[in-house]
Amino acid sequence: MALRRDPTARQKRLATELRRLRDAAGLKAGEAAELLGVSRVQISQIETALAGVSETRLRRLAAHYMCTDERLIDALVALATDRTRGWWEEYRWLLPTPFLDLAELEHHATFLREVQFQFIPGPLQTEDYARAVFSYRVPELPRTEVELRVRHRMRRKTALEGTPYEAIIHEAALRIMVGTRAASRAQLDHLLRLTEADHVTVRVIPFSLEGFAGAASAMVYAGGSVPQLDTVARDAPHGTTFIDSEAQLGAFRTLFHKVESASLDPARSRDFIHRLAKEL
């Protein structure tokens, strides 16, 4: 079997979870290879996502690793046997890989929670807003590259089609006129329309909130098919970082709920956004 040239985020996550199960069982890669009847190199390739693993072999590994969590095993099997080629694959080799990985993460999420302080969350952006964001980049992107990124961002809206989504947005992101005044007003109006859906919740953190020091807590928290497969995506200077260790996920769950408890409730947030839109 040919080795993968560019493993997806989901393939890498499966590899990571299999390695964690082996480590938890106290087995070395060579021992796992003997149990499976393959070479140590093959185990290494599976655990680095360079090669896939069949359902039969995955279940044998889970048994050898003494994993008794059937829901987790079934979820890993689903990852291993997933042959989905989503819309984001159209952009492979055209956009940086993290763009594709984030779209794939959102597509498979059982729920999405997002906290943003500088910009309107990507899936909630209008086309004009997204274009203004990408056009401001330094070094400046060619117009064709900007339009490619805008189209990709607009297609990410499919993640909102039925998936429970909660966004917490700071007043700063709502007030900054990323594009023109008209485009900014249209963006706020678009936000208000989105909140009419039962599965979309938008909360606001106002400037007037006292004692708030959570401006470093921007994140996208994507629910997995089981809690162990949750993932946090965060922007970093070198690109998007995906976080999936159990300890860090627990910390980000706590952080999200802390920020959520400090924000306005959905009804008051909607009124807040409506007032801002009228001011523009």
Give the CATH H-level superfamily of domain 9-81.
Answer: lambda repressor-like DNA-binding domains (1.10.260.40)
pLDDT over threshold 60, residue 1: no
- What pTM was estimated for this model as a whole? 0.94
Break the chain into its structural domains and give their ranges. Answer: 9-81, 87-125+155-279
Q: What is the pLDDT of residue 235?
A: 85
Predicted confidence (pLDDT) at residue 2 exceeds the cutoff of 80 = no
Averaged pLDDT, 212-232: 94
Evaluate whether 9-81 and 87-125+155-279 have a shared fold: no
Tracing tokens 């943003």 back to the chain, one arrives at: 116
More confidently predicted of 95 and 5: 95
Task: Give the model confidence (pLDDT) of 165-182 as tens digits.
Answer: 999 999 999 999 999 999
- pLDDT of residue 266 exceeding 60, the answer is yes
Banded model confidence at residue 3, pLDDT cuts 50, 70, 90: confident
Residues 10-58 have pLDDT tens digits of 999 999 999 999 999 999 999 999 988 999 999 999 999 999 999 999 9
State the pLDDT at residue 171.
97
- One of 3.30.870.10, 3.40.190.10, 3.40.710.10, 1.10.150.120 is the CATH number of 87-125+155-279, namely 3.30.870.10
What pLDDT score was predicted for residue 214? 87
Residues in contact with 272: Cβ distance below 8 Å, sequence separation at least 6, in sequence order: 171, 204, 206, 264
CA angle 30, 15, 77 (to 5 degrees): 105
- Burial label for 276, CB within 10 Å (0-12, 13-18, 19+), is middle
- Cα(58)–Cα(54) distance, integer angstroms: 6
